[in-house]
Amino acid sequence: MEANEIQEQKEYINKVSNLNTGKKLKYHILTMGCQLNENDSEKLVGMLEQMGYKESTDASDADLYLINTCCVRENAEEKLFGKLGELKKIKENRNIIIAIGGCMMQEEHITQKLKKSYPFVDIIFGTHTLHKLPEDIYTAITKNKKVKDVIDIDGKVYEGLPIKRSNNRQASVTIMYGCNNFCSYCIVPYVRGRERSRKPEDILNEIKQLAKEGYKEITLLGQNVNSYNGGEGYKFANLLRDVDKIEGIEIIRFVSPHPKDFTDDVIDAIADSRKISRLLHVPLQSGSTEVLKVMNRKYTKEQYLSLIDRIKDKIPEVVFSTDIIVGFPGETEEDFEHTLDVVKKVNFEQIFMFIYSRRVGTVADRMENQIPEEIKHKRFDRLKALYEENIEKNNEKYVGTNQKILVEGQSKNNEKMLTGRTDTNKVVIFEGDKELIGTTINIKIVSQHRWYLKGDSRDCP
The answer to whether the beta carbons of residues 363 and 189 sit under 8 Å apart is no
DSSP SS3 for 66: strand
The answer to whether the beta carbons of residues 349 and 392 sit under 8 Å apart is no
Query: How many whole angstroms separate alpha carbon 411 and alpha carbon 435?
Result: 14
Of residues 43, 192, 281, 426, which one binds ligand F3S by CB under 6 A?
192
Using CB under 6 A, list all residues that contact ligand SAH. 72-73, 185-186, 188, 223-224, 256, 258, 283, 285, 323, 325, 354, 356-357, 359
The answer to whether the beta carbons of residues 371 and 377 sit under 8 Å apart is no
Rg (CA), the chain: 23
| Stretch 293-322: interaction string toward ligand F3S, x if CB under 6 A | ------------------------------
Amino acid at 182: F
C-beta of 293: minimal distance to ligand F3S in Å? Answer: 24
Q: Which does 359 bind (CB under 5 to 8 A by kind): ligand SF4, ligand F3S, ligand SAH, none?
A: ligand SAH
Q: Considering beta carbons, is residue 181 or 424 the nearer one to ligand SF4?
A: 181
C-beta of 225: minimal distance to ligand F3S in Å? Answer: 13
Using CB under 6 A, count the residues that bind ligand SF4: 10
The answer to whether the beta carbons of residues 52 and 59 sit under 8 Å apart is no
Buried b / exposed e along 110-127 (16+ C-beta atoms within 10 A): bbeebeeebeebbbbbbb
Task: Establish if 128 lies at the interface with ligand F3S (CB under 6 A).
Answer: no
Using CB under 6 A, count the residues that bind ligand F3S: 11
Q: Which does 73 bind (CB under 5 to 8 A by kind): ligand SF4, ligand F3S, ligand SAH, none?
A: ligand SAH
Of residues 25, 48, 64, 72, which one binds ligand F3S by CB under 6 A?
72
C-beta of 359: minimal distance to ligand SAH in Å? Answer: 5
> What is the crossing angle of helices 236-244 and 264-272, to 10°?
10
Query: How many whole angstroms separate alpha carbon 405 and alpha carbon 416?
Result: 18
Of residues 70, 84, 104, 188, which one binds ligand SF4 by CB under 6 A?
188
Task: Establish if 36 lies at the interface with ligand F3S (CB under 6 A).
Answer: yes
Q: Considering beta carbons, is residue 253 or 426 the nearer one to ligand F3S?
A: 253
Of residues 188, 225, 319, 355, which one binds ligand F3S by CB under 6 A?
188
Find how far residue 281's CA is from the centre of its chain. 12
Q: Which of residues 80-109 bind ligand F3S (CB under 6 A)?
A: 103
Of residues 189, 193, 230, 432, which one binds ligand SF4 by CB under 6 A?
189
Task: Establish if 176 lies at the interface with ligand SF4 (CB under 6 A).
Answer: no
Q: Considering beta carbons, is residue 127 or 357 the nearer one to ligand SAH?
A: 357
Q: Which does 182 bind (CB under 5 to 8 A by kind): ligand F3S, ligand SAH, ligand SF4, none?
A: ligand SF4
Residues 6+ apart with CB under 8 A from 448: 392, 395, 396, 398, 399, 454
> What is the crossing angle of helices 133-142 and 35-50, to 10°?
50
Query: How many whole angstroms separate alpha carbon 42 and alpha carbon 173?
Result: 11
Query: What's the N-to-C CA distance of the chain in angstroms?
Result: 53
- The CA distances from residue 14 to 6, 93, 99, 220, 453, in Å, are 13, 29, 19, 31, 49
Query: How many whole angstroms separate alpha carbon 102 and alpha carbon 75?
Result: 16
Q: Considering beta carbons, is residue 324 or 407 the nearer one to ligand F3S?
A: 324
Residue 237 phi/psi, 5° resolution?
Answer: -60, -40
- The CA distances from residue 3 to 9, 10, 14, 123, in Å, are 10, 11, 17, 24
Of residues 29, 70, 100, 267, which one binds ligand F3S by CB under 6 A?
70
C-beta of 283: minimal distance to ligand F3S in Å? Answer: 12
Residue nearest to ligand F3S (CB): 33
The answer to whether the beta carbons of residues 189 and 227 sit under 8 Å apart is no
Q: Which of residues 207-246 bind ligand SF4 (CB under 6 A)?
A: 223-224
Task: Establish if 186 lies at the interface with ligand SF4 (CB under 6 A).
Answer: yes
Q: Which does 111 bind (CB under 5 to 8 A by kind): ligand SF4, ligand SAH, ligand F3S, none?
A: none
The answer to whether the beta carbons of residues 198 and 175 sit under 8 Å apart is yes
C-beta of 330: minimal distance to ligand F3S in Å? Answer: 24
C-beta of 173: minimal distance to ligand SAH in Å? Answer: 16
**Residues binding ligand SF4 (CB under 6 A):** 179, 181-183, 186, 188-189, 223-224, 258
**Residues binding ligand F3S (CB under 6 A):** 33-34, 36-37, 70-72, 103, 188, 191-192
